Amino acid sequence: MQKMTNISSVQEYLLSEKRQGKKIGFVPTMGFLHEGHLTLAEAARKENDIVVMSIFVNPLQFGPNEDFESYPRNPERDAALAASAGVDILFFPEADEMYSGSSIKMHVTERTDVLCGSRRTGHFDGVVTVVSKLFNIIGPDNAYFGLKDAQQVAVIEGLVHDLNFPVNIVRVPTVREEDGLAKSSRNVYLSETERAEAPVLYSSLKDAESLIEEGKSIPQTIISHIQNRINSETSGTVDYIEIYSFPELEDIHSLQGEFIIALAVKFQKARLIDNIIIKKSQEEKQNV
């Protein structure tokens, strides 16, 4: 595995490889790698000739009261894990390398006024800025994103469509612990008690899925069920529980088609998100 920090060096190397017909798979991350990131890399390894992973804690997507400075970092461990997952190029730029100028600003106008986006003003502007730069630097054929942050996937798919990036976005299912908790870099902030409670988030989503399979069709009925479980079985505070069409992230009044049930719960030192995406045909019988 090669570690590169310079944009021009990465571009020169990958352009040469693409001229030889090599297919490039790309996994963008903010580091402190866990099994979820490695699953993305392993998926890329199966479908591409060269796998590139970036590690860059992007300051543009952190708000003034968010955890940029304290965001966990361990570059030596990350490099070892990336190599073990079959990464060929680890792109590890500094902030002044990525943001040497600021004459252009990007602003997302759809899919961001709900879920985490409604609570993190400017967050997805920072996401599309860095992802656009990374796509232009790497020039991938395929880029791999985890569905744990499904809103990010929706926004990136919109970015690729609107700006005609020649890259295929590959959705990768959320990687979970044995008890169902979605793997996240922020799980390290949970206390022992909170870690024992946290699997209720996914369990409540699966309960909701079962209710829908039984014919429940009113979103608020499903939301109330999830909220009751989280309130009664955890010490966390519900930030949101919301249901929207996917990937458009628009309001729906009946649970039809493809939709997402997403939630965020605040614990003492960690805010956890999770979701499930469900497809339901209009022919299925409904009741409330």
Residue 209 belongs to domain with CATH number: 3.30.1300.10
Q: Is 30 annotated as a binding residue?
A: yes
Q: Which structural domain range is residue 79 located in?
A: 2-172
| Domain identity same for 153 and 244 | no
Q: Is 15 annotated as a binding residue?
A: no
In a domain? residue 177: no
Exposed / middle / buried, residue 65 (Cβ in 10 Å: 0-12, 13-18, 19+): exposed
Cis check for the bond before 93: say yes or no (omega within 30 of 0): no
Q: Is 220 annotated as a binding residue?
A: no
Q: Is the pLDDT of residue 286 over 60?
A: no
In a domain? residue 286: no
| Domain identity same for 103 and 234 | no
Q: Which of 37, 107, 123, 253 is catalytic?
A: 37
pLDDT in tens, 105-145: 999 999 999 999 998 889 999 999 999 999 999 999 999 99
Q: Tokens for 105, please give them.
A: 């600003």
Is 253 a residue of the active site?
no
Q: Is the pLDDT of residue 73 over 90?
A: no
| Domain identity same for 268 and 142 | no
| Domain identity same for 152 and 57 | yes
| Domain identity same for 196 and 256 | yes
In a domain? residue 75: yes
pLDDT in tens, 156-205: 999 999 999 999 999 999 999 999 999 887 888 999 999 999 999 999 99
Q: Is 175 annotated as a binding residue?
A: yes
CATH of the domain at 123: 3.40.50.620
Q: Which of 172, 204, 225 is the last residue of a domain?
A: 172
In a domain? residue 178: no
Q: Is 20 annotated as a binding residue?
A: no
| Domain identity same for 168 and 193 | no
Q: What is the mean pLDDT of residues 42-60?
A: 95
| Domain identity same for 163 and 218 | no
Q: Average pLDDT, whole number, for the chain?
A: 93
| Domain identity same for 164 and 229 | no
Q: How far is CA 206 from CA 76, 118, 230, in A?
A: 37, 25, 13
Domain count, the chain: 2
Q: Is 161 annotated as a binding residue?
A: no
Q: Is 249 annotated as a binding residue?
A: no
Q: Which of 145, 172, 199 is the last residue of a domain?
A: 172
| Domain identity same for 154 and 69 | yes
